Amino acid sequence: MSENLLTKAFINGSWTNGGGGVFDVLDPATGHPICQVADCVANDVEKAIDAAEKALETWKLKTPKERATYLLAIRDHLLQSKDFIATTLTRENGKPKTEALGEVGFAASFFEWFAEEGKRQYGETVPSPVPSKRFITIRQPAGVAALITPWNFPIGMVARKVAAALAAGCTCVLKPAEDTPLTALIFAKICQDAGIPSGVVNVIPCSRTRVEEVGRILCHSPKVRALSFTGSTAVGQWIYSQCGQTVKKLSLELGGDAPFIVFPSADLDAAVQGAMASKFRNTGQTCVTANRIFIHESIHDEFVKRFSLAMEKELKMGSGLEQGVTQGPIINKRQHDRLVNLVKGAVASGAKLVCGGSSPGGLYYTPTILTEVTPEMPISKEEIFGPVATILKFSTEEEAIKLANMSQRGLAGYFYSNNLSQVWRVAEAMEVGMVGINEPMVSTCEAPFGGVKHSGLGKEGSKHGLDDFSHLKLLCFGV
């Protein structure tokens, strides 16, 4: 299949070699190279920014209806290429192909959503305090948008950012994750096939050694007027500091530390299935995965029993291209070794290993349950990003909320309860941007996605997804 893969950067409507040569893209399931991809350097980034700035002159003048036509064409091309995209995504990311197929559909939904929502970027009329003036507001595109996307959703996160930026009237410079550039380059070809004008979407892959160089240019360039990043809190904090001198619009979707609470009134079977879905999707490598599972002491043992049985029955480890596999490899050796050390450290500190806890070879890690975990353990404080479920007991609602809110990260949180009064209290008390109540899946194009505290700024998806790519302008008329 490698002969069908696109490996060059996409700048100003043309496929070009990177100034830094090439770098290997590895298959995490085998550890073998899939192919080599263009390694972009500073000059390539500047060319992409210049192309986007030039294309902005005409793209921002297109009507929302005209831009919607392009977005719907991208949607159609995504769906037409669904199998090829999903296969490529699985090869470079490792997730099961069934999940990859779902991600392509998820990506397409954002282009459909923002095609329509872009037509509804309404202004306002503001009642004037004096007879001699009239006030109205309008929305205008922010300008060139730099988009930095993660490896765990190589097409989903690209779509969520690009669709909103294009709908708002911005042009884009996309820097995909170094582990998963191939899916982003397929997306560039889809934009080309959909007739997107040259320079409106540019894709500049680079190797890990050049990430800081490329990121610094995107942050410092005065031509880039908006930057959207999804990734770790540490990198997000660095980007936040680097963008200060150009005072650009900034949206950050950063790391999570999601609490998952099960109260005594919960439907235990539903809670177990919710934990399965939240914890083990993409082998636990999502920012909204259940990171700390809090179970009331009265149902703790029964929950652990049912949870471990569900894991044994439903989870199958292997290459994401194999039928029936639900758990692929960890994305790279760095993440794999970090996961191994987190679990070893927890067990050494007194956590009990109920199941799993081993690395059978390569980048695979067995789905794991740890009980008797305490809030002081590093595994309770760090984003795990792997198929490891840490379970902590609690006694009261107040204790559960306190434990859930101990983290400086606040992206998503989940809880299961059939006590209506408790549902309202806990939902309002959790210090997160999104709450799943008796429901593990919170992300959809129609709803706002984003966190609080160290989990970031801004919202993606929903009508609010256009805000980070547009400015509100006041027009004051003397009459």
Q: What is the pLDDT of residues 419-465, one digit of tens each?
A: 999 999 999 999 999 999 999 999 999 999 999 999 999 999 999 99
Say which residues have a Cβ less than 8 Å from residue 402's Cβ, sequence separation at least 6: none
Domains of the chain, each with CATH number or no CATH: 2-254+455-478 (3.40.605.10), 258-444 (3.40.309.10)
pLDDT recorded at residue 1? 35
pLDDT in tens, 334-382: 999 999 999 999 999 999 999 999 999 999 999 999 999 999 999 999 9
What Å distances lie between residue 228 and 157, 176, 180, CA to CA? 10, 12, 18
- Position 223 scores a pLDDT of 98
For residue range 99-138, list pLDDT tens digits in order: 999 999 999 999 999 999 999 999 999 999 999 999 999 9
**Is the pLDDT reported for residue 2 higher than 80?**
no
What pLDDT, on the 0 to 100 scale, is given for residue 469?
98
Is beta strand 290-296 parallel, antiparallel or unpaired with respect to 258-262? parallel
Q: Per-residue pLDDT for 278 more than 60?
A: yes
pLDDT digits (tens, 9 = 90+) for 283-312: 999 999 999 999 999 999 999 999 999 999
Q: Is 305 helix (H, G, I), strand (E, B) or coil?
A: helix
Write down the pLDDT at residue 17: 97
Give the global pTM. 0.96
Give CA–CA dist 240/243, Å, rounded: 5
Q: What is the distance between the alpha carbons of residues 304 and 295, in angstroms, rounded to a whole number?
A: 9
Note the pLDDT tens digit of each residue in 407-430.
Answer: 999 999 999 999 999 999 999 999
Q: For 51-179, where are the E strands, in sequence order?
A: 124-126, 133-141, 144-148, 171-175
Give yes or no: 172 in active site: no
Mean pLDDT of 220-248: 97
Please report the DSSP string for 239-283 in residue order. HHHHGGGGT-EEEEE----EEEEE-TTS-HHHHHHHHHHHHHGGG
Residue 60 has pLDDT above 50, yes or no: yes
The active-site residue out of 170, 287, 397, 445 is: 287
Q: Which two tokens stand for residue 236?
A: 């997000």
- 446 catalytic? Reply is no
> What is the structure's pLDDT at 282?
96
Choose among 22, 21, 26: nearest CA to 2: 26
On average, the pLDDT of the chain sits at 97
- Residue in 253, 383, 397, 460 annotated catalytic: 253
pLDDT at 4: 83
Contact partners, residue 82, CB within 8 Å, separation at least 6: 101, 104, 105
Q: What is the pLDDT confidence band of residue 39, given thresholds at 50, 70 and 90?
A: very high
Over 80: is that where the pLDDT of 3 sits?
no
